[in-house]
Structure 1
Amino acid sequence: MTFAAIVLAGGRAVRLDGADKASVEYLGRTLLEHTLDALLDADEVVVVGDPVPTTQPVTFTREDPRHGGPVAALLTGLDALVRTPTTVAVLAVDMPRVSSWTFRRLQEAAAGHDGAFLTDADGRRQLAGVLDAARLRAVRPDHEHQHGMPLHRLLSALDLVDVGPDGDEGRDVDTWEDLRDLSGDQGLPGVAD
């Protein structure tokens, strides 16, 4: 079984003043580094977003046109994988509390289904999940319909399991306040050099 991962890191981050989320620091490391730690079990990782320094080997790519939304980014990442995986992890770069343990739980929950996704504390599905790669390819829309498509519409034909969060792992960073709340730091967050 081949396990590959796609990191969604190319959003506009409007509520973060347009900052590159991958480079935003959380507890002294970039959000991208935290994300890559969560994907240590993956055989291959593709980051859909602008290249930034990392300590782990990844492939960077961008959807065309840029800022096409999560469906366009997910499918661009799928196309950039060198090997055809059995299972694909998808993770937004702004979820620093997700861990490799999270993905092991998701993979276990996905057994017998098309995939599993983490929810937040309120039960809303987050951009952290695993998908059967063949089933994902089966529901793939043509290129002209990917741009701007909501992820829930792409995934609606799939049999997915929702997995509740363990602690704060279902929280994401959409605003500077979110980042301060997660880190407990009262100072201003920074962007890595």
Structure 2
Amino acid sequence: MVLAGGRASRLGGVDKVMLPVGGRSLLDRTLEALRGADPVVVVGPRRPEVPGVRWTVEEPAGGGPLAAVDAGLRCLGPGDAVVAILAGDHPHLTRDTLDRLREALRRDPEAGGAVLAEPGGRPQWLLGVWRVRALREAMPAEVRNRPVRAVFDALDPVRVPATTAEVSDVDTQDDLDRARSADR
């Protein structure tokens, strides 16, 4: 599941996930990390230039990341056991990153998820792999404008050390410039 909505107010309101880094949009780079996953759900406005995914949006739109996660969960089937939940603005996320998260979750059957943690230890809640059943059970009745941290932290996820590049995101023009420089 890729969260690809939001206002991108610090970037002037552009469609942030469609910004290019290394010749590919941020969204395409995230989808590449998910190659082989089925289904792939993108929560945000439909982008016709991005085929082969299921699209959904929280109702009403603009309810924040937890509302987006809730909308994405509704697209998963009853047999889906694990879901990666990723913000669409991390240009250096890779398939290897997701493999490490899945392996950490597999090794700890009691954990509700596995999440990347910054070098300082702070979890990046929208860079994780979660047990679908546990996540569904933890979702509050009201998800609009509620923090994801409260729900995800309650699932006692395994914290997987990340490289600085993996957790770098694009929120400002400086972030975008750094991502483009690092990708050369």
Q: Give me the TM-score of the superposition, normalised by structure 2.
A: 0.90
- Give the corresponding residue for 2:16: 21
Write out aligned runs for 1:159-170 (5 A).
Answer: 159-170=156-167
- Give the corresponding residue for 1:132: 131
Structure number with the higher helix fraction is 2
Q: Does the C-alpha gap of structure 1 residues 83 and 162 become closer, same or farther in structure 2, counting only changes over 3 Å? A: same
Q: Which runs of 5+ in 1 are unaligned?
A: 1-5, 186-193
Write out aligned runs for 1:23-172 (5 A).
Answer: 23-54=18-49, 56-82=51-77, 84-111=79-106, 112=109, 113-126=111-124, 127-142=126-141, 145-172=142-169
- SS of corresponding position for 2:41: strand
1:85 deviates by 0.8
- Give the corresponding residue for 1:181: 178
Q: Give me the TM-score of the superposition, normalised by structure 1.
A: 0.86
Q: Which runs of 5+ in 2 are unaligned?
A: none
**What residue identity is the alignment partner of 1:114?**
G
The answer to whether the 8 A contact 1:23-1:52 is kept is no
Any runs of at least 4 consecutive aligned residues in structure 1 with deviations exceeding 4 A, and if so which? none
The answer to whether the 8 A contact 1:121-1:170 is kept is no
CA RMSD of aligned residues (A): 1.6
The answer to whether the 8 A contact 2:73-2:136 is kept is no
- What is the CA deviation profile of residues 55-87 of structure 1, one whole-angstrom value per residue up to 9, with x for unaligned ones? 551011111111111110011011023564100
1:156 deviates by 2.8
**What residue identity is the alignment partner of 2:171?**
D
Count the aligned residue pairs: 178
- SS of corresponding position for 2:74: helix
The answer to whether the 8 A contact 1:22-1:52 is kept is no
1:96 deviates by 1.4
The answer to whether the 8 A contact 1:89-1:130 is kept is yes
How far apart, CA to CA, are the structure 2 residues paired with 1:76 and 1:92? 14
